[in-house]
A = this chain, B = another copy of it.
Amino acid sequence: MPYVMVQIPNTPAPPKSPAPRPVPTSADVARLAGVSRATVSYVLNNTSAVRISEPTRRRVHEAAKELGYVPHAAARSLRAGHSRMVLMPTLPVPAGQRYSQFVHDVQGALSRLDYTVVQYGATGLRGDDAARAWAELRPVAVLVPSPSIGPDGVAVLKRSGVRAVVTLSAAPVEGAHSVFLDHAEVGRRAVDHLYARGRRRIGVVIPEERGMEMFSAPRLAGARDALHGTDATVVPLPLAYTEESAAALVDRWPDLGLDGVFAYNDEYAMLLMRALQDAGVRIPQDAAFIGADDVMPGRLLRPRLSTVRLELPSGRDLAALVDRAVRNPGAPPESHQEYGATVVHRDSS
């Protein structure tokens, strides 16, 4: 049943574009409190450099409260030198389980260090243009979880006052701190494992959803790399995350002659494994399966799903890196190497 918005009756018809109420400014607060704007600014920004009496402080706070004045984060950050906002661009695809948990952990760890994480919606902007859009919010740090920024973008951010840029990607970006996340290594490990299990014709699932290429392309390249110079073959398997798409692939299955599958991640593995099992294909006897990400549902499948776990930094380590970088913006970029990708061997391979 499709969702339709139904306006509840009895709501009076909206008047024609009335003017919004004027927003109170620090000048209004100054007027009501009977002090200068500078005093308002000193009080509300907790400036310790200037001595202001307690009664005056109280008067300013009361006036601000009465008027509903909220200081402007960006203006305040300019005065303070910087904000406490860490900007993270969102991925151009819906977050998977692993990534949602990761963002949640990073957010919690940064919040304990008194930063606020703001996730900036994917806008289709690329490179410098994206960096310029992020810079407009004047974050103190930018944490880029995908290979979507280059040295020019980093320079744009730095010139507009961003103290630290941290990238999570396969290659360091000039001017940014970097944590290596090597998606090619995920494909390499997965396919190495299937090869070691005796498989020679290995399908590699390529999600058909838009925006996934940035992860699926390096995974496929890594898979090809693993079989380079061997007697085994990689067969790309385009697949959408729908039961229909899986059924269509199962129809073509006998012609493909595959004996192993690296299914991009655990979610696609689950989809394709179930469709094949329902069609009588035995796993792992007829086709060995391996996913990636090591999320809970894979452990609940029967046979239990083998997977590749790409190590991500803990929220705490990443938050500490951001904080260090913010405190010392002129320090040369740090490069962090994680443990790479590890195979978790269960029953499906």
18 contacts between A and B (CB under 8 A): A5-B336, A8-B336, A8-B337, A19-B330, A21-B158, A23-B161, A24-B160, A70-B132, A70-B135, A70-B159, A73-B74, A73-B136, A74-B75, A75-B75, A97-B97, A118-B118, A267-B297, A270-B300
Given contacts A76-B136, A101-B94, A138-B73, contact A312 B3 (CB under 8 A): yes
Contact of A70 among B117, B156, B163, B313 (CB under 8 A): B156
Contact stretch, chosen from A9-17, A224-232, A254-262, A285-293:
A9-17
Interfacial chain B residues near A90, Cβ < 8 Å: 107, 119
Which one of B4, B78, B159, B267 contacts A68 once the chains associate, using CB atoms below 8 Å? B159
Cβ of A296 < 8 Å from any Cβ of B? Answer: yes
Binds B, one of A53-61, A120-128, A183-191, A195-203: A120-128
Report A152 CB to chain B, min CB distance, Å.
10
Contact residues of A between 320 and 347, Cβ < 8 Å to B: 321, 327-339, 342
Please, which residue of chain B has its CB at the minimum distance from the CB of A135? B70
Please determine whether B271 and A300 come into contact, CB atoms closer than 8 angstroms.
yes
A15 touches B121 (CB 8 A): no
